[in-house]
Structure 1
Amino acid sequence: MTTSFRKRLAQGEDVFGIFAKTASHQTVEVLGRSGLDFIVIDAEHAPFSRSDLDLCILAAIATGLPALVRIPEISEAAILTALDLGAAGVMVPHVQNAGQAARAVSAAKYAGRRGFSNSPRAGDYGLRPIAPHAKESDASVAVIAMIEDMAGIDNIPEIAAVDGIDALFIGRVDLTIALGRYDVGHPDVEAAVQRIFAAAPQLGKPLGALADSPALCPPLHENGVRMFLLGTDQGLLRGAVSNTVSQAKAALP
């Protein structure tokens, strides 16, 4: 499953996912039956304990849904936890230079500084021998660098060139705040995003972006985005319920 997801990124396939912000394995299990290509468990902005991550990643694996974890910071411990639990990869926030990108990749790979154990879920609880587990894990784990600061945009060619970085995700909202703005459509924000789009053809790595409206997918695709996050579990639940309530009320005489 994890190899398939990273391979799809490398081949430039279009993949569609959502942020999972609810610490509920039942929610993840339902999402695994919804046609998504992946989810991103948001351990940066949502209240996921290690136990929550354990159950949610287990639910994703049980339904064949690759689960990335957005870690709270560039931390060897955070990356190790996510991968030992069986995550398909990690989304790394606020990557501003090649050094930070290389640090994240190193923490995610046994060939780097990832602490080894084949006793967790990722190693089939001790059933996978050392060599196959290390080699297959290093080949399968995806590392996504989030570009959400001006320094990240300035250094994007060097970040993309780091071996082991599989995609670059545009963090438009954080970029908006970094620019001192409060409107994601502000001209300054759009100009910064356009810089990423302009660099994309030379980067050799797919882009990812939030596309919380299907209408956004075609223009993003034209600019190199292949990894689409279609919103959050909370937002989609709220929208679906609100729409159903409105329709029910409107149906009454």
Structure 2
Amino acid sequence: MISAGCGPVGSFVMATDAAVTATLASAGYDFVVIDREHGPNDIRSTIGHIRAAEANRTIPLVRVLENNPGQIQATLDAGAHGIVVPKVGSAAEAAAALKASRYERGGRGMCPAVEAARWSAGDTWAEHRRSSNENVIVVPLIETRAGIDSLRDIAAVDGIDFVFFGLADLAQDLGIDMYGDVGRLVDIWNEAVEVVHEQGARIGAPLGYGFEGGDFGTVESDLTLLKSAAVAGLARHRDATSRTPANGA
């Protein structure tokens, strides 16, 4: 999609019910980020989300709690098409996350009897290994001062094709207000876009904050979208009922 000039749009998924992912997919979202850093999803509910995404032809990514090889392996074994890694602050950290996602010496552990491998027999393992190593996406979250300072090196790591601009934690790390100082964040973003594109990688960000020139983005999260719709619907119909005379009077 990106190569065709169309920026993919996704949303974070906090709820544990896989129907939420199916709903977002049916609404046309190109990908979901199942949140295991801030959301309550465990490995069982994550598998449900992944299956719902695949059944409805959207891409399931998972944000892990931390840059931990065990967590990355378990998430990919569950079938995630890619991982979003919080607070990546150096090229070494990005490379470590990438290594944990690859079937290679010292990397991701081999096990055919998992969801991602479709419980493969020996004759299908080689294809799974090849496909996984070629297609699993690793997305460093750039959300600290260290990440911004090291962004050029992070984006230059061979195999890191995407990074994501995490404005909330970045604002906190910089000691500024995410909303009141959004202009400063936009300035940082504009420099980040140039740096990442110079390295041949792609960069995404939350949409609706003035971050222009990116390659992909996210629209809020499932539950914030639900609340926004609920508030709007309540206001609209509350207003309508307040104008309706009681008992026909």
TM-score, with structure 2 as normaliser: 0.89
Residue 117 of structure 1 corresponds to 111
Measured against aligned partners, the alpha-carbon deviations of 1:209-248 in whole angstroms (never above 9, x if no partner) come to 001x3xx5xx534x3x111101100100001111111111
- Give 1:37 shift: 0.2
| Aligned twin of 1:107 | 100
Aligned to 1:246: 235
Q: How far apart are 1:192 and its partner, in Å? A: 2.9
* 1:144–1:169 contact (8 Å) kept in structure 2: yes
Query: Does the Cα contact within 8 Å between 1:9 and 1:167 map onto a contact in 2?
Result: no
Which structure has the larger Rg over C-alpha atoms? 2
Could you say which residue in structure 1 is the equivalent of 2:30? 37
The 1-side partners of 2:116 and 2:85 are apart by 20
| Structure with the largest fraction of helix | 1
**Counterpart position of 1:220:** 211
Counterpart Cα distance in 1 of 2:58 and 2:203: 21
Question: What SS does the corresponding residue of 2:164 show, helix, strand or coil?
Answer: strand
* Greater RCO, 1 or 2 (C-alpha within 8 Å, sep 6+): 1
Instruction: List per-residue Cα deviations over 1:121-157 (Å, max 9, x = no partner).
Output: 1111124622111101111111111111111111111
Are residue 231 (structure 1) and residue 231 (structure 2) matched? no
Please tell me whether residue 179 in structure 1 is matched to residue 179 in structure 2.
no
State the Cα distance separating 1:9 from its structure 2 match.
Answer: 5.3
Q: Classify 1:153/1:74 alpha carbon distance in 2 versus 1 (closer, same or farther; 3 Å).
A: same
**Which region of structure 1 is more displaced relative to structure 2, 98-107 or 188-197?**
188-197
Aligned residues: 239
- Residue 41 of structure 2 aligns to a residue whose secondary structure is coil
Deviation per CA, 1:91-126, whole angstroms, max 9, x where unpaired?
A: 011111110000000011113501111211111112
CA change 1:106–1:9 in 2 (3 A) is farther
Cα displacement (A) at 1:13: 4.2
Unaligned runs of 5+ in 2: 244-249
Query: How far apart are the structure 2 equivalents of 1:205 and 1:193?
Result: 15
The SS at the match of 1:118 is coil
After TM superposition, the score normalised by the length of structure 1 is 0.88
109-118 or 180-189: bigger deviation = 180-189
Q: Per-residue CA shift, 1:1-54, capped at 9, x if unaligned?
A: xxxxxxx45776410000001111121222221100000001000111111112
Aligned to 2:135: 140
Give the superposition deviation at 1:194: 3.4
Q: CA RMSD in A?
A: 1.8
Unaligned runs of 5+ in 1: 1-7
SS of 1:124's partner is coil
The AA in structure 2 aligned to 1:121 is E
Cα distance in 2 for partners of 1:195, 1:11 equals 24
